[in-house]
């Protein structure tokens, strides 16, 4: 069984300040973890992925996430928020077996204040 919890449904930051979007997961096996971003009226776009290699993963647009097995967390961070980062972010967990089961988090809406 697997699940993913995004702890904040809404996060508001000022432009130029750090971003932290939290994600905790549970899994019976070694999972793959992903962060997706969804801008209004656009499809989900892959930001980054963890697939059992380096625990600190760098993605597009300056985002990165750290896989912490002891804390079962995969929080998304960015040093300095930009207005264009305002969007909905989804944390996703997937098994790595033959039949891929994917579980999405409920999403975190990021608001960036000028």
Partner 1 sequence: GAVVSQHPSRVICKSGTSVKIECRSLDFQATTMFWYRQFPKKSLMLMATSNEGSKATYEQGVEKDKFLINHASLTLSTLTVTSAHPEDSSFYICSARQGLAGIETQYFGPGTRLLVL
6 or 73: CB nearest partner 1: 6
Provide, rounded to whole angstroms, the least separation between the CB of residue 101 and partner 1.
Answer: 9
Strands 32-38 and 45-50: antiparallel
| CA dihedral of residues 63, 36, 19, 23 (deg, nearest 10) | -110
Q: Given the rule CB under 8 A, which of 15-23, 61-69, 72-80, 92-100 is the region that contacts partner 1?
A: 92-100
Quick count: other Cβ atoms within 10 Å of Cβ 86? 17
Q: Between 6 and 35, how does the x/- string for binding to partner 1 read (CB under 8 A)?
A: ---x----------------------x-x-
d(CA 90, CA 21): 10
User: Which residues bind to partner 1, rule: CB under 8 A?
Assistant: 4, 9, 32, 34, 36, 38, 41-46, 49, 90, 92, 94, 100, 102-107
């Amino acid at each position: 069984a697997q699940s993913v919890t995004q702890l904040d449904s809404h996060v508001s930051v000022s432009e130029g300040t750090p971003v932290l979007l939290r994600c905790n997961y549970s899994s019976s096996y070694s999972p793959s973890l992903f962060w997706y971003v969804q801008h209004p009226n656009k499809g989900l776009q892959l930001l980054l992925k963890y697939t059992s290699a380096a625990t600190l993963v760098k993605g597009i647009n300056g985002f990165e996430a750290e896989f912490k097995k002891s804390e079962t967390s995969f929080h998304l961070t960015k040093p300095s928020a930009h207005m264009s980062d305002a969007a909905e972010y989804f944390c996703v967990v997937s098994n790595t077996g033959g039949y891929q089961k994917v579980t999405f988090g409920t999403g975190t809406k990021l608001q960036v204040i000028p």
